[in-house]
Every structure is written in C-alpha cells, then in structure tokens.
C-alpha cells in the first residue's frame, strides 16, 4: 500500500521538479499540464482487473507500450506539445521504475 501511494505521489512531485528546472518562468502551467497527463492511465480501464498492484503497466496497457512511447518521444519535436510529451514520458519512466521495483521483490 505504501509503495502504491508513493508511486501516485511521484506522478505529481516529479513533474513539479522537472517543471521548475526546465520550464521557467511558466513552471506552474507546465506542472499542471504534466500532471494532467495522468489521464493516460485511462487505458487501465481496459484491463481485468482494472487495478492490480502487482501488474506492470508497461507493455500491458495500450497507451503504455513501446509504440505509444515512441509517439510521445516524437511529440517532443512539436514545440506546442513539448510539455505534454515530457509529462507522458515522465509518466512512462515512473511506471517503468515501478515495474523494476516489482521485479526486485
């Protein structure tokens, strides 16, 4: 339960740090946009069960696949979508770190 709570918290704290470092002076706007990318988790609704704390979302859910991540990477090239792309890639990195943690234990 603690790991799941920390994982969710990281989805809001890490974008805040990145926004402060990379998107000054509009860091608050950037932080909110990056936090909004948590909607990518709507693809979890396609899974059965919807939530499984022991399931790695990378490669399991459609918006958490390598092709999707490649698209997120390409979105970095579009200036107007750069903040959203950064948020999506941070989200994938955080989910991947959770998968790594699960594999260790």
The string of pLDDT tens digits covering residues 17-61 is 999 999 999 999 999 999 999 999 999 999 999 888 889 999 999
Q: 3: pLDDT confidence band, cut at 50, 70 and 90?
A: confident
Cis peptide before 6, with omega less than 30 degrees from 0? Answer: no
Q: Looking at residue 4, what is its pLDDT?
A: 86
The CA angle 76-80-86, to the nearest 5 degrees, is 40
């Amino acid at each position: 339960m603690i790991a799941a709570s920390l994982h969710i918290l990281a989805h809001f704290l890490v974008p805040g740090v990145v926004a402060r470092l990379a998107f000054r002076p509009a860091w608050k706007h950037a932080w909110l946009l990056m936090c909004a990318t948590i909607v990518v988790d709507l693809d979890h609704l396609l899974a059965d069960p919807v939530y499984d704390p022991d399931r790695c979302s990378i490669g399991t859910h459609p918006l958490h696949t390598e092709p999707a991540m490649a698209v997120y990477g390409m979105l970095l090239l579009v200036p107007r979508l750069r903040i959203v792309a950064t948020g999506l890639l941070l989200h994938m990195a955080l989910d991947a770190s959770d998968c790594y943690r699960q594999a260790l234990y």
